[in-house]
Chain A
Amino acid sequence: MSNTQATLVRMANDIARNLAAMGEEKAALATADHIATFWEPRMRGAILADRAGLSPIAARAIAALADHAPAHQTRATAADAGSDAG
């Protein structure tokens, strides 16, 4: 696994670990949402193409992503959460 790929896998696993407290299903969706919102297309492409080393929640998340980007799960990713305009 190249350095970059290893980094992507570690990032995905980190996200999944930190969202795990939501419960497995919600965490998988939230992880997918996070990646869809913040990861650049090449990064998403790379993790979709090679899923070796992903934790169970992260793997579920990437599988969900392969289908389509999920609805926004947290306010951090919601595009319509307002522009800090109050």
Chain B
Amino acid sequence: MGYEPQPDFGTPEAPKQPGVAPVTLTIDGRAVTVPAGTSVMRAAAENGGQIPKLCATDNVKAFGSCRLCLVEVDGMRGTPASCTTPVAPGMVVRTQTPRLDKLRKGVMELYISDHPLDCLTCSANNDCELQDAAAQVGLRDVRYGYQGDNHLGLATDASNPYFDFDPSKCIVCSRCVRACEEVQGTFALTIDGRGFGSKVSAGQTADNFLGSECVSCGACVQACPTATLNEKAVKTIGKPERAVVTTCAYCGVGCTFRAEMRGEQLVRMVPWKDGKANHGHSCVKGRFAWGYAQHQDRVRQPMIRESIDLPWREVSWGEAIGFTADRLTRIKAEHGARALGGITSSRCTNEEAFLVQKLVRGGFGSNNVDTCARVCHSPTGYGLKTTFGTSAGTQDFDSVMDSDVILVIGANPTDGHPVFASRMKQRLRQGAKLIVIDPRRTDLVKSPHVEASHHLALQPGTNVAVLTAMAHVIVTEGLADLDDIRARCDWDAYEDWAHFVSDERHSPETLAAVTRVPAADLRAAARLYATGGLGWASAQRNRPNGAIYYGLGVTEHSQGSSTVMAIANLAMVTGNVGRRGVGVNPLRGQNNVQGACDMGSFPHELSGYRHVSDGAARALFEAEWGVAIDPEPGLRIPNMLDAAVDGTFRALYVQGEDILQSDPNTHHVAAGLRAMDCVIVHDLFLNETANYAHVFLPGSTFLEKTGTFTNAERRIQMVRRVMDPANGGYEDWQVTQLLAQALGLGWSYTHASEIMDEIARLTPSFAGVSHARLDADGSLQWPVNAANPDGAPIMHVDSFANGKGKFVVTEYIPTDERTGPRYPLLLTTGRILSQYNVGAQTRRTENTVWHPEDMLEIHPTDAENRGVKTGDWVRLASRVGETTLRATVTERVAPGVVYTTFHHPATQANVVTTDFSDWATNCPEYKVTAVQVVPSNGPTEWQETYASWSEKSRRIDGPLVAGEAAE
């Protein structure tokens, strides 16, 4: 068997045409039936044939340039290309005839006359479509000889850290160019020159891949049929031997990849074409940035220390677990069960998150468990539960292809959810309209072939005002879908809300002063969302499909929950719920933050979002676990830190989370951690939180464990182990189990699938989920139960799942964080494509070549007033603290607004953010901080103190001597 590349049918699947009958034709004497609109090439490939091809691949449209796939069709003149010829009923096709044979050999001769003949030492040996085509056409002889003009002397461009571009092997099929256009949507590549002088270029003549617009997504590498664009790893290692499908551990899109291995060495990650979330596409992180698993910073041995000013001591697993269990037991005896808590990881699997909350609830004896969703999408849970009755997004990603108007608010998908953004851009290029609500001019506002009809560049903190003003327009101009509201929603609540938004004080004109959005723009945007704009017409429906996508620019505010509810209100008032192409779509950030929330990581909820006071739910768990569960809600992370400072919270088990870098108000987090008696960090590297830890338990990466992740579509996908964990062989759930066993809990899981079975027993929305089912079906979107045996891609289809949709009045309340003479600017934060959140993983890969430091974006007017130029050090100060970083002057931010990323710990961006947070969920208000910016000489005293403390805290007292390792 050996290595099987993914099947390539040549041209994309035909778009579904309901009501149109499939077509039957004859190919080489075989009767073949395919959907109407399929190309002859694909029809042959799907039915046991293989027409030779070079310029065709099935994720881009047919091009018809190589002239290799020619066929003969009865009744058609000449030799049409099978890639550009759609099937017709009764067609008779012959793919191999003497005439075709001659033509194909002729084409191959031309290609090979200008191609190196070093197959045996080429990195694409045996994985090269040019070799395949030459073999298929039976090329034996190149009559032109090899002395003519050729391109064999062209130099390789090795600028990109992950792949090489060797133009001497290029056959100018332009698959790379088309992949960059059609799949990724970046349009970074082009064919420069004409005729014999044609060559692939990443921009201008002086541009190489690194310097160009290329975002290193790898689509061109995947599309390239020869060795021209090839992964550097394949060059150094060789052709993979086997492939295992697994899911990416970066963002909430949840791309599935084939981990292509040689033995236990990962050669490359190739996007899986059957992945329902990504359909064979990827971004630079999942595709290439997995080297952190082998980085030198990787900790492989458990470590402990009596107090945080001592260096770490490497110990055996037995000693580390024993030390931890002792301390926890003592703390519980002295201070009670509620003095202990845990934080589950949104990067670990569902099974692992479930066990951490089980350890806290069943072992520690409290509900003090929380997760990083606290600081990102907790308002989504609250807001959608209140309005729609369920706390997750309503659609799948593919639904965007049926959208007519797309509203993106507080999200930057080209950076944060790149593979989804590429899909959205495909739809936008097909003609859908776009509205962007963001204080910053994100890439989505204007990029090749994509332009937002409206960019509402609002003041940070005024989301609710803008959305209420839009609601005002829709209601007062008679654009509400009253029939749909009457059918699905609570009419009384609607009337109250409609009365509220119709008030003059909520008109765009009145609110313009506060939002800084011109009233005319806002009115036009609202009308566009509700009606599709002037001249919108459709044979299929009289209202456009409007979909809303939002991110942390909505939730990380003091009115985050209110904004989510305002978004839900807009969707309901325009009837945009319950079918393809519409809905409310929270772009969940982490690979498994949705899963962590589903698993009961919140202090007030058991798995499946059931409140801990719900006796029936508790009884189910108590019966299975054999232990009583606390019926009172536990502490959220910020409250854990408060309680720690007060002395009533003393132990914390943190799995896969770096609260010191990612949570707001660094001084407050540090004070809380310092006050605790037992901080256990379970992670891959010594992160910032570990500076205050007493126990370090080395973790396992996503390549080293089996389990499931749930992406932003509620899609549960398998993660499959391809190499042994570097920490001595323990998957993260096994480490949690060791701790539980040491505390006297008789856990005996032997495989992660057993944990999922337990989850299915205890959680109604997961009732039908199991590893076996996922192996068979590929993925499942919860709920998976009797009512939805195969999962539920779209929610609330006929009616809202838990009763009627509820309109909620959301009054705009300005945040307490006000600008003033001392702090006249507003800071907002965000992410960049190449780095991921706190950068723990991506900073330890070659992605640092794109974003080696966080920069402060500042508008030219503000910069000029302060004498700041791009590259200058500036001091960023707020009421809470100050830090220093370098500036970049740009018009992407409006005057009065500054912006930075938080990927590098040295930046200490969170020293500056406040502890204001969402009223309902305590989600921190990262997006609004009043700051002042002044030129600076260099790092602040705090940064230097912190850096040296950080270094001191990472000292390890000598490696473990071989004889001491017990397990």
- Which residues of A are interface residues toward B (Cβ below 8 A)? 2-4, 7, 11, 14-15, 17-18, 20-22, 34, 37-43, 74-77, 79-86
Chain A residues, CB < 8 A from B801: 82, 84, 86
Interface pair A79/B632, CB less than 8 Å apart: no
Interface residues of B in 801-822 (CB under 8 A from A): 801-803, 806, 808-811, 813
Interface pair B604/A38, CB less than 8 Å apart: yes
Interface pair B562/A18, CB less than 8 Å apart: yes
Interface residues of B in 786-803 (CB under 8 A from A): 787-788, 792, 795, 801-803
The number of residues on chain B lying at the interface, defined by a beta carbon within 8 Å of a beta carbon of chain A, is 58
Q: How far is the CA of A16 from the CA of B648 in the complex (A)?
A: 27
Interface pair A22/B604, CB less than 8 Å apart: no
B250 at the interface (CB under 8 A from A): no
Interface pair B920/A76, CB less than 8 Å apart: yes
Interface pair A86/B811, CB less than 8 Å apart: no
Residue of A11, A76, A77 with most partner-chain B CB within 10 A: A76
Flag the segment in B28-36, B108-116, B607-615, B749-757 that touches A: B607-615
Interface pair A74/B639, CB less than 8 Å apart: no
Sampled A-B contacts (9; CB under 8 Å): A3-B645, A11-B919, A18-B562, A37-B613, A37-B633, A38-B920, A75-B386, A77-B611, A86-B785
B83 at the interface (CB under 8 A from A): no
Q: How far is the CA of A20 from the CA of B810 in the complex (A)?
A: 10
Hey, what's the 0/1 contact readout for B40-76 against A, CB within 8 Å counting as 1?
0000000000000000000000000000000000000
Interface pair B642/A86, CB less than 8 Å apart: no
Residue of B nearest to A34 (CB): B920
Q: How far is the CA of A37 from the CA of B636 in the complex (A)?
A: 13
Flag the segment in B388-396, B548-556, B694-702, B901-909 that touches A: B388-396
Known A-B contacts A11-B919, A75-B802, A79-B614; the reply to A84 vs B391 at CB < 8 A is: yes
Q: Which of B500, B632, B922 interacts with A21 by CB under 8 Å?
A: B500
Chain B residues, CB < 8 A from A7: 642, 915
Chain A residues, CB < 8 A from B920: 15, 18, 34, 38, 76
Residue of A2, A14, A74 with most partner-chain B CB within 10 A: A14
**Number of A-B residue pairs at CB separation under 8 A:** 116
Interface pair A86/B645, CB less than 8 Å apart: no
B831 at the interface (CB under 8 A from A): no
Chain A residues, CB < 8 A from B367: 40
Residue of A3, A22, A83 with most partner-chain B CB within 10 A: A83
Residue of B nearest to A78 (CB): B611
Chain B residues, CB < 8 A from A85: 608, 764-765, 783, 785, 787
Chain A residues, CB < 8 A from B765: 83-86
Q: How far is the CA of A84 from the CA of B390 in the complex (A)?
A: 5
Closest 4 CB pairs of A and B: A83-B608, A79-B611, A14-B919, A79-B614
Residue of A nearest to B808 (CB): A74
Shortest distance in angstroms between A6's beta carbon and chain B's nearest beta carbon? 10
Interface pair A15/B919, CB less than 8 Å apart: yes
Q: How far is the CA of A37 from the CA of B920 in the complex (A)?
A: 11
Interface pair A40/B613, CB less than 8 Å apart: no
Interface pair A37/B604, CB less than 8 Å apart: yes
Q: How far is the CA of A39 from the CA of B603 in the complex (A)?
A: 9
Interface pair A79/B613, CB less than 8 Å apart: yes
Interface pair B639/A86, CB less than 8 Å apart: no
Chain B residues, CB < 8 A from A11: 919, 922
Chain A residues, CB < 8 A from B802: 75, 81-82, 86
Chain A residues, CB < 8 A from B648: 42
Chain B residues, CB < 8 A from A76: 382, 385-386, 920
B524 at the interface (CB under 8 A from A): no
Interface pair A18/B389, CB less than 8 Å apart: no
Interface pair A82/B389, CB less than 8 Å apart: yes
Q: How far is the CA of A85 from the CA of B608 in the complex (A)?
A: 8
Chain B residues, CB < 8 A from A37: 604, 611, 613, 633
Hey, what's the 0/1 contact readout for B897-929 against A, CB within 8 Å counting as 1?
000000000000000000100011010000000
Q: Which of B386, B611, B635 interacts with A40 by CB under 8 Å?
A: B635
Interface pair A75/B558, CB less than 8 Å apart: no
Q: How far is the CA of A18 from the CA of B810 in the complex (A)?
A: 7
Q: Which of A14, A75, A81, A86 interacts with B787 by CB under 8 Å?
A: A86
Residue of A nearest to B391 (CB): A84
The binding surface of chain B is classed by DSSP as loop
Chain B residues, CB < 8 A from A18: 559, 561-562, 810-811, 813, 919-920
Chain B residues, CB < 8 A from A41: 338, 632
Known A-B contacts A81-B385, A84-B608; the reply to A42 vs B813 at CB < 8 A is: no
Q: How far is the CA of A6 from the CA of B489 in the complex (A)?
A: 39
Chain B residues, CB < 8 A from A34: 920
Q: How far is the CA of A22 from the CA of B634 in the complex (A)?
A: 28
Chain B residues, CB < 8 A from A82: 389-390, 801-802
Chain A residues, CB < 8 A from B479: none
Taking A17-B813, A21-B810 as known contacts, 16 extra A-B pairs with beta carbons closer than 8 A to each other, sorted by chain A number, are A17-B919, A18-B920, A20-B811, A21-B809, A40-B368, A40-B633, A40-B635, A42-B648, A75-B386, A79-B613, A81-B389, A82-B389, A82-B801, A83-B763, A85-B608, A86-B801
Shortest distance in angstroms between B208's beta carbon and chain A's nearest beta carbon? 49
Chain B residues, CB < 8 A from A43: 635, 639
Residue of A nearest to B922 (CB): A11
Interface pair A40/B634, CB less than 8 Å apart: yes
Shortest distance in angstroms between A14's beta carbon and chain B's nearest beta carbon? 4
B646 at the interface (CB under 8 A from A): yes
Q: Which of B392, B611, B806 interacts with A84 by CB under 8 Å?
A: B392
Q: How far is the CA of A40 from the CA of B634 in the complex (A)?
A: 5
Interface residues of B in 610-652 (CB under 8 A from A): 610-611, 613-614, 617, 632-635, 639, 642-643, 645-646, 648
Residue of A nearest to B565 (CB): A76
Interface residues of B in 911-952 (CB under 8 A from A): 915, 919-920, 922
Shortest distance in angstroms between A69's beta carbon and chain B's nearest beta carbon? 9
Interface residues of B in 743-793 (CB under 8 A from A): 763-765, 782-783, 785, 787-788, 792
Known A-B contacts A7-B915, A40-B635, A85-B608; the reply to A80 vs B783 at CB < 8 A is: no
Residue of B nearest to A15 (CB): B919
Q: How far is the CA of A41 from the CA of B632 in the complex (A)?
A: 7
Q: How far is the CA of A13 from the CA of B803 in the complex (A)?
A: 30
Q: How far is the CA of A40 from the CA of B806 in the complex (A)?
A: 28
Shortest distance in angstroms between B387's beta carbon and chain A's nearest beta carbon? 8
Chain A residues, CB < 8 A from B562: 18
Q: How far is the CA of A34 from the CA of B918 in the complex (A)?
A: 13
Q: How far is the CA of A66 from the CA of B582 in the complex (A)?
A: 44
Residue of A nearest to B497 (CB): A21
Q: How far is the CA of A22 from the CA of B809 in the complex (A)?
A: 8
Q: How far is the CA of A48 from the CA of B784 in the complex (A)?
A: 43
Chain B residues, CB < 8 A from A20: 811
Q: How far is the CA of A74 from the CA of B389 in the complex (A)?
A: 10
Chain B residues, CB < 8 A from A2: 646
Q: How far is the CA of A3 from the CA of B604 in the complex (A)?
A: 24
Q: How far is the CA of A53 from the CA of B41 in the complex (A)?
A: 75
Interface residues of B in 560-582 (CB under 8 A from A): 561-562
Shortest distance in angstroms between A46's beta carbon and chain B's nearest beta carbon? 9
Chain A residues, CB < 8 A from B764: 83, 85
Interface pair A40/B603, CB less than 8 Å apart: yes
Interface residues of B in 77-128 (CB under 8 A from A): none
Shortest distance in angstroms between B676's beta carbon and chain A's nearest beta carbon? 15
Chain B residues, CB < 8 A from A17: 813, 919
Q: How far is the CA of A18 from the CA of B387 in the complex (A)?
A: 15
Known A-B contacts A2-B646, A37-B604; the reply to A74 vs B609 at CB < 8 A is: no
Interface pair A86/B795, CB less than 8 Å apart: yes
